[in-house]
Amino acid sequence: MKLLVTGCGRGGTNLGIELARSFGVFNVTPKVEDRDFFSHTPLPSKYATKLATENTNFTIENIEKMLRENPDLHILFMIRHPVDTCLSKIYRGRPMSQGGDSTVEETAADGTPTGAAKAIKNMVDIYSYLFKHRRNRLCVVKMENLIAEPEKTIEKVSLFFTAKPLESTYNFFETNRNRYQQQRYGNQLVRNVDLYMDLDNSFDGFFAEKQVQVSKLATLLDHLITTLQYTNKLKASK
């Protein structure tokens, strides 16, 4: 079995690849994200990596081609509530001097409301295609479930991998190789769930005075929220 962990950036892909790595059945790429993924023909035995759907080469046509050329390639698709994903992109996508994860003094392409919403729409388009046409090779995991119900989610993933979890699998988050997450959370599995419902405390209060803008963003993303089988709580609370 070969594996691609994908989804939108800031949507749980780092947790997903570390979970996969903890099973000990894959040859996970040394770099957390293999940006040359679509150049491999065919993929090596037991290959596994992650690649966010924002990658320039990540198109429906290219992922379909990889699935055809690698009959044993499966996809672990990580999703997260679109509003939380957007807010994380905006907050973390700020220039380095403003506290963002960027290494340059520029706002990330998906670090604006428009850019973040565009990235999520692209991810949902890819997700919808795979769900419709390649469901037998697809396992969808909500980041919120992996955080709130790790054992239940690990059981689901183990069935998809047809592999038994190791004892260390249940502490997979302790070996997270993403340096920014290591700096922020250490070896903790932080309960990043429905952050957009508590703007006074989430994201260091960055959005506390932007309630109206966040509400508008939630309205803009409403159909994507529904597609991913989440609830738009801002809309429901009105």
pLDDT at residue 215 above 90?
A: yes
| Interval 41-65: pLDDT, tens | 899 999 999 999 999 999 999 999 9
Is this model's pTM higher than 0.85 or not?
yes
3-state secondary structure the chain: CEEEEEECCCCCHHHHHHHHHHCCCCEEEEEEECCCHHHCCCCCCCEEEECCCCCCCCCHHHHHHHHHHCCCEEEEEEECCHHHHHHHHHHHCCCHHHCCCCCCCCCCCCCCHHHHHHHHHHHHHHHHHHHHHCHHHEEEEEHHHHHHCHHHHHHHHHHHHCCCCCHHHHHHHHHCCCHHHHHHHCCCCCCCCCHHHCCCCHHHHCCCCCHHHHHHHHHHCHHHHHHCCCCCHHHHCC
Total number of domains in the chain: 1
| Interval 171-191: pLDDT, tens | 888 877 665 555 555 565 656
CATH code of the domain in which 191 resides? 3.40.50.300
Q: Which domain holds residue 88?
A: 2-236
Report pLDDT for 42.
92
In sequence order, the 6+-apart residues with CB closer than 8 A to the CB of 176 are 14, 15, 18, 182, 185, 187
Of 69, 85, 63, 70, nearest to 13 by C-alpha is 85
| Interval 117-152: pLDDT, tens | 999 999 999 999 999 999 999 999 999 999 999 999
